[in-house]
Every structure is written in C-alpha cells, then in structure tokens.
Amino acid sequence: MADPRVIVVGAGPAGIRAAAALVEAGLVPTVIDEASRSGGQIYRRQPENFTRSYEQLYGTEARKARALHTCFDALRHRIDYRPETLAWAVKDGRLHVQSGMTAEALPYDALVLAPGATDRMMPIPGWTRPGCYSLGASQIALKAQACAIGEKVVFMGTGPLLYLVACQYMKAGNAPVAVLDTTPFHRQLRGLALMAARPGQLVKGARLIAALRAGGVRVVRGITPREVTGGEAGVTGVRYADAAGRTFHVECTAVGIGFHLRAESQLADLAGCVFAFDPAVRQWLPAIDAMGRSSVANVYLAGDGVRVLGADGAETSGKLAAQAVLADLGRPQPEDRTRRLLRDMERHVRFARGVARAFPWPHDKVAAIPDETLVCRCEAITAGELRAAVTALEAPEVNRAKAFSRVGMGRCQGRFCGLASQEIVAAACRLPVEKAGRLRGQAPVKPLPIAVTDGGSHA
C-alpha cells in the first residue's frame, strides 16, 4: 500500500512513541493534539518563557521527560502535526477534528488513539467551591504555571498521584497542611507483591511517603471525606472522618482531590470498540489484544486512555500499537523487538494491578455520599436527584438514569461524575456495578463553538 494514512490522537508518552515508530518505518503520520505543546500531562511542558530545569520540573523522571521531548522535537517536521486541535468524534471511518473555527473529517487507514486520562473523582459536599481542584490540576498549576493552588493546601483521595503531588508541593516550598488517604495502610500493603514487578518504582513511591513524613507533613490513612468547607468566597477547610469514625476539620485555603485515574475512552467508544468491565479498577474499558489492537480492525489503542499503566507503560504501549499498525499494513516488524516490548508490557500491567489493589477506588464510600452532594458539577445535580431517577422513575441502569436526571449529560460529558454515578445508580438499583450498565460516549466528546464551519474533508 502506498503512503497509508495513519492518524495518532494525543501527543503524550504513548502518542509520541507511536508516532516515532511510524516515522522510523517511513510513514508520515498525522498527530492530533489538543494542547499547544507536546508532552501530554505527566510530561507537560512549561511555557517557552519559563526557565526551571528538567530536574526541578520532573524530579526523578527528568531524564525520561527530556528523552520524550527530544524525541518529539526530532519528529515535529516529519509528521503532519496539528496542535490545538480537538478530536471530537469518530464516524464512518473518519476522525472528526476541530481547530479554531474550522472542522474537518479526516479519513484514515489506521487510527491510534492515545488520549490519556483524567482524575477519577468522588463527589464530596463542597467540591465545587473555588479553591477545590483535582490532583491533576494541582500538579499542572505547579508545573505549567509555577503556582500553588493555595497557600495552605490539603491533598485528599488515594493513589500514587496523591503522594507525588504532595511531595512536589513540598519541594517547591509550599508544603501541604495534610495528606488524607481513603485507603487504610494495611490495604496498601496488599499491592506490594504485584508492585514488586517494578522495584524501582516501588522504591520511588516509598521515598515519597518517607519524604513527606520527614518534612513534617501530616499523612492520615483510612479516612472518609465528609466536606470541603467554606462559603461563597471559597474553600476554608476539609472535614473528614478517621478510620474510627471520629470527625476532624483541617483549615486550609485550597484542596486537591483525586482517586487515581480514569481512561479517556470516549473516542474508542464512538469508533465502535467493544468494551469489557475490569473488576480490578471497576471501570468499563475498551478490549485490546496484547499489542493494542481494538475490536475494530483499523483502530489501535495505547496509553492511559485504554487502561491506566502510567507514563512508562504508556511509552511501551505506544511502541507496540505502532508495531501492530505496521504489521497489519503488511510491514512486519523484527520479532525480538516485539517480544521485548511485550515482556516490558507484562511488568507494567502487573505493577498497575498492584497499584489498583493498593489504592482502591472507595466505591462503597462513593455509593454512600449524602443526598445533598452535587454529583454533576456542570448542571448542579445532586446525588438525591440521581437516586430518585432510580427509586421514583424506575431507571433500571445508568443510561436511563442519565436521561432522567441529566447527570453525565453536561458539558464535561460525564468525565467527572460518570464513574461515581455508576456506583450510585448501581447501589440504588441494588445491582453489582457491572450489571448496572455502561455509560455510552456521545459526540462531540467536548463542546464545540457554534460558529465552527466545515473546512472540507479530504474525501
């Protein structure tokens, strides 16, 4: 086949490594990225007029960040690079994109989706107050803007990012007031055997927690979030219960919240990929083979957008997806290289299983949030209204409950309420979460300006 059209969505660790492998094989892939600069979120680049070093920005991961950025900079003029471009739908073998006020439908022979992840969120009373951000946002404020989200910060939730962001704030001279983890310590130990698949990462994680303790940061495990307190002007504190049920209030001016990550799987959904429920992370994820092939013949999935493995796993999965693309286009790849990547991948998957076990999504706490909690930030809809869609209107599953309540239908398209709403609806239906339906993706996956015009497709 002459010059196959390959599109890569996302210019983070997975997308960059996929694009690099395709270029190495002599192709000129199109790379669509919503950001203005490549790198994705974890290796996000600071604005060009900022001067902090790689070591300051990325700590122990500085070498990897530099390698990835250097890799992309070498590619930039050998690909059809489209920054500040949103991929908003996949339909009839075309990827629909928008940039500025122009929309286009791009045909492809192979599509590699590497759209990344966002924070998985548990709705907490008061989480819409000014000063309350996701953990991802807390990290972006620091890395990309050299700002803390507040002077006195509490980080709450669970997962590796909780400790990483807390440490990064401490190193930047804005040590958090407290780190509140919903996972009890004994539970965290349960992930150790699997996490030993990557001893280096495990040691780095242990060092983060030790550094926080040494820096005098209060770390409390096994908590239940009760409320982000404050008024019209914003956050004034966090109320939580400890493992024994005693309630405490910590004063602060900002809160960063997150419960590990969720895959941005909407485009895979729109492409028609088959999904399967993964009980380890309690998420519906697109099914893939070991190389990243989805159930749709020319759609390949890589990085945290298909399953959360972290940045190193994303790089490996990007390389593998590119190998699959090339093999399927009739350009077989060296077998030893594929075997090596597959072996790497096994370690990443094993480690990620350990992380999921060590920092579980507190689904029982999510299902039990008080009725007055806003679940939907976009349209200010409460848990009570969502439950009423099941109890009063007899919605038998999440999509019907969404239609009745509009939870998941707002401008974030369920990114921040979807997983919580599945737990709440399942509990109200008295069903296991995997029996309560899967929230379907809708186009556009993000809002488009109404004045967008058709820039013509390459039909």
Partner 1 sequence: MQARFRRLAEKERRAVVLTVDGEAVRALEGDVLLTALMLSRGFARMSEFGDGPRAGFCMMGACQDCWVWTGAGERLRACSTSVAEGMDIRTHVPEGIWPIPA
The residues binding partner 1 (CB under 8 A) are 34-36, 41, 46-52, 118-119, 128-134, 136-137, 140-142, 144-151, 172-174, 232-235, 253-254, 264, 374, 377-380, 410-412, 415-416, 446-447, 449-451
Name the residue nearer to partner 1 (CB basis): 124 or 427: 124
Q: With respect to partner 1, which residue has the nearer C-beta, 148 or 427?
A: 148
Peptide bond just before 444 cis, omega within 30 deg: yes
Pairing of strands 102-107, 94-99: antiparallel
Residues 6 or more apart whose Cβ sits within 8 Å of residue 377: 127, 128, 410, 412, 416, 417
Residue type, 91: K
Question: Six-digit token pair at 63?
Answer: 């070498």
Instruction: Between 333 and 422, name the residue whose CB sits nearer to partner 1.
Output: 422
Residue with smaller CB distance to partner 1, 72 or 169: 169
Q: Please, is 231 exposed, middle or buried when counting C-beta atoms within 10 Å of its C-beta (0-12, 13-18, 19+)?
A: exposed
For partner 1, give the closer residue by CB, 148 or 288. Answer: 148
- Alpha carbon of 299 to those of 88, 307, 451: distances in Å? 16, 15, 30
Q: Residues 129, 373: contact at Cβ < 8 Å?
A: no
In the three-class reduction of DSSP (H, G, I as helix; E, B as strand; rest coil), residue 238 is classed as strand
Other Cβ atoms less than 10 A from the Cβ of 206: the count is 11
Q: How far apart are CA 126 and CA 53, in angstroms?
A: 37
Between vectors from CA 205 to CA 204 and to CA 206, what angle results, nearest 5°? 95
Q: How far is the CB of 145 from partner 1 (least distance, A)?
A: 5
Q: Tell me whether residue 3 or residue 232 sits nearer to partner 1 (CB atom).
A: 232
Q: How far is the CB of 56 from partner 1 (least distance, A)?
A: 8
Minimum Å gap between C-beta 67 and partner 1 is: 23
- Minimum distance of partner 1 from residue 109's CB (angstroms): 29
Closer residue to partner 1 (CB): 287 or 452:
452
DSSP three-state, residue 47: coil
Please report how close the Cβ of residue 110 comes to partner 1 at its closest, in angstroms: 26
- Minimum distance from CB of 379 to partner 1 (Å)? 6
In the complex, the smallest distance separating the C-beta of residue 106 from partner 1, rounded to whole angstroms, is 20
